Structure 1
Amino acid sequence: MELNAYLRRITLQRDEVPTFDDYPFHLPAVSSLGQLEFHPKVTYIVGENGMGKSTLLEGIAVALGFNPEGGTMNFSFATAETHSELHRYLRTVRGPMRPRDGFFFRAESYYNLATEIDKLDQENHAWVSPPRIVDSYGGKSLHTMSHGESFFAAFMNRFSGRGLYILDEPEAALSPYRQMAMLARIHELVGRHSQFIISTHSPILMAYPDSLMYQLTPDGIEKTTLEETDHYIIMKEFVNHREGMLRELLRDEN
Structure 2
Amino acid sequence: MIIERAYVPVASFQDEWPWSVPCVRALLADGLRFTAPVTFLVGENGSGKSTLVEALAEGFGLDSWGGSHNWRYAPDRPKSVLGERIRFDAAPHGRRMLRSWSARKGFFLRAETALNALSREGFEPDSLSHGEGFLAAFRGQFIQPGLYVMDEPEAALSFASCLELLGHLDQLAKKGGQVICATHSPLLTALPGADIIEIGEHGLRRAAWDELALVDHWRRYLTDPQSYLRHVLD
Count of matched residue positions in the alignment of Structure 1 and Structure 2 = 224
Relative to the length of structure 1, the TM-score reads 0.81
Q: Judging changes above 3 Å, is the alpha-carbon distance between structure 1 residues 52 and 82 closer, same or farther for their aligned structure 2 residues? A: farther
Conservation of the 8 A alpha-carbon contact between 1:55 and 1:84: no
> 1 CA distance for matches of 2:158 and 2:79?
29
* TM-score (structure 2 length as normaliser): 0.88
Question: What is the aligned partner in structure 2 of residue 147 from structure 1?
Answer: 130
The corresponding residue for 2:16 is 22
Alpha-carbon distance in structure 2 between the residues aligned to 1:108 and 1:65 = 19
Which runs of 5 or more structure 2 residues have no equivalent in the other structure?
Answer: 98-102
Partner of 2:111: 107
Contact 1:143–1:150 (8 Å) recurs in 2: no
> Whole-Å Cα distance in 2 between the matches of residues 144 and 198 of structure 1?
26
1:7 — aligned with what? Answer: 3
Structure 1 residue ranges without an equivalent (≥5): 118-132, 135-139
Aligned-residue RMSD, C-alpha: 2.0
- 223 and 195 in structure 1: CA distance in 2 versus 1, 3 angstrom threshold: same
* Larger displacement relative to structure 2 (104-113 or 150-159): 104-113
1:212 to 195, 198, 214: 195
Please state whether the residue corresponding to 1:197 is helix, strand or coil. strand
The one-letter code of the counterpart of 1:103 is F
* One of 33, 38, 61 as aligned partner of 1:37: 33
Aligned counterparts of 1:56 and 1:213: Cα–Cα separation in 2: 15
1:197 paired with 2:180, answer: yes
Residues 6, 40 of structure 1: 8 Å contact kept = no
In the TM superposition, what is the alpha-carbon distance from 1:185 to its structure 2 partner? 1.4
Q: Which aligned pairs between 1:84-233 and structure 2 lie closer than 5 A?
A: 84-98=80-94, 101-115=105-119, 117=120, 133-134=121-122, 140-233=123-216
Counterpart Cα distance in 1 of 2:18 and 2:80? 7
Indicate if the aligned counterparts of 1:79 and 1:112 stay in contact, CA closer than 8 A: no
Identity of aligned residues (%): 33
**In structure 2, what is the Cα distance between the partners aligned to 1:31 and 1:163?**
27
Alpha carbons 1:29, 1:221 under 8 Å: kept: yes
Does the aligned pair in 2 maintain the 1:10–1:92 contact within 8 Å?
yes
Quote the Cα distance in structure 2 between the aligned partners of 1:82 and 1:54: 17
Instruction: Decide whether aligned partners of structure 1 residues 154 and 80 sit closer, same or farther in structure 2, where only a CA change above 3 A counts.
Output: farther
Query: Per-residue displacement from partner, 1:182-234 (whole Å, max 9, x unpaired)?
Result: 11111122221211111000100111110111111112111112212221111
What residue number does 1:63 align with?
59
Q: 1:226 to 1:185 in 2, by over 3 A?
A: same
CA deviations over 1:16-52 (Å, ceiling 9, x no partner): 3331111111111112222111133111111000011
Distance in 2 between the 1:217 and 1:244 partners? 24
